[in-house]
Amino acid sequence: MHRKIKQILFFVFAAAALSACLDMEHKGKRNDIPTKGELEIAVDLNDSLLFVQLIDRFHDLYPKAHITAKFMAPIALLEGVRDKKITALYINHAFDSAMIDALESRQIKVRSHDIGMGATAFIVNRSNPNSRISVDSLCLMMSGKCSAWGRSNEKLVFAMLKNDLIYNDLEGFYRKNAAQPNGKLSLPKVVQFASPQAVFDYVKKTPGALGFVGSNWIADRGDTLARFNRKQVKVLEVQHPVSREFHLPYQSQVFAKQYPFTRIIMGYDLQGYSGLAQGFLAFCCDQSGQVILKKSGLSPALPPARTIQLEN
């Protein structure tokens, strides 16, 4: 009797082990590999149009991979990492050494790579007569001494994504370039929205609005929504504080770092093992992913090489 029970248990455990080895779907937590399994990634809202395309292409290449994206504002992404609720993320921000040390002190292995460069676009209502904004004008707006547009006298309103990092970027710009950098930063009226699209909608109907959106939302000439939004607003040229030249937030000027409000796009794998997060990050850095970045109007980390053949 005992011998029969032992034989039954042996076959049960053997079947379970064999089943685990043959789990070709790699479903469930920590059961994914770089090209198969299930994974939720957290993505910066500023780059949401880009990552819809990246994920679709990854699924085409690896049909047994199932990635879902949760689009979030940058500060919410950082809070999710702090609370150990996120194991893979893409954000317009590079972790500093203190943050990496803090994560690794909690036994969180950090693997990362930059996948490209985007920018913050300055957008205004099409009725606004201004087509560019100078360093001095921008600093004046942030000093609290300017409450209206000079040429139109429309009341100035800053429109931005809620929990975005643009405030930090503006503050840094002001501290470096204002006539009185130690003066108090005092923004005009600020309205915040849950999505970049809501920022566009507000700017389209508000003559005095100055909106701040990720360049992914205007730069992709092949995306219907990006094309529509770009036609509904005016994108301002912004003056570089060193060269004093004016530039737009588009690919060539972002790559050359001529546009002053560029943002790195970083990918972070916090899974701690060789899983789907690692596979997707590698794809984003590889030629297939980099071509999509370029097509989206952003600046790839590794611009595709050009071969020039010379003939006698």
Selected residue with higher pLDDT from 30 and 15:
30
In this prediction, residue 15 carries a pLDDT of: 36
- Tokens representing 83 are 């609370």
- 3-state secondary structure string across 231-282: HHCEECEEECCCCCCEECCCHHHHHCCCCCCEEEEEEEECCCCCCHHHHHHH
In this prediction, residue 275 carries a pLDDT of: 95
153: left (phi > 0), else alpha (psi -120 to 50), else beta? left
275 in the same domain as 183: no
203 in the same domain as 170: yes
In this prediction, residue 302 carries a pLDDT of: 83
Selected residue with higher pLDDT from 277 and 180:
277
Checking if the pLDDT of 9 tops 90, the result is no
What range defines the domain where residue 155 resides? Answer: 119-263
Alpha helices in 126-238 (DSSP H): 135-142, 166-177, 196-205, 216-219, 224-232
Lowest mean pLDDT among 129-133, 176-180, 224-228: 176-180
170 in the same domain as 194: yes
User: What mean pLDDT, rounded, does the chain reach?
Assistant: 88
231 in the same domain as 105: no
233 in the same domain as 124: yes
208 in the same domain as 90: no
Does residue 20 lie within any of the structural domains? no
- Tokens representing 186 are 């005092």
> Whole-prediction pTM value?
0.86
**CATH for 280:** 3.40.190.10
Domain count, the chain: 2
133 in the same domain as 240: yes
226 in the same domain as 137: yes
Does residue 291 lie within any of the structural domains? yes
Each residue's pLDDT tens digit, 44-54: 999 999 999 99
239 in the same domain as 153: yes
287 in the same domain as 240: no
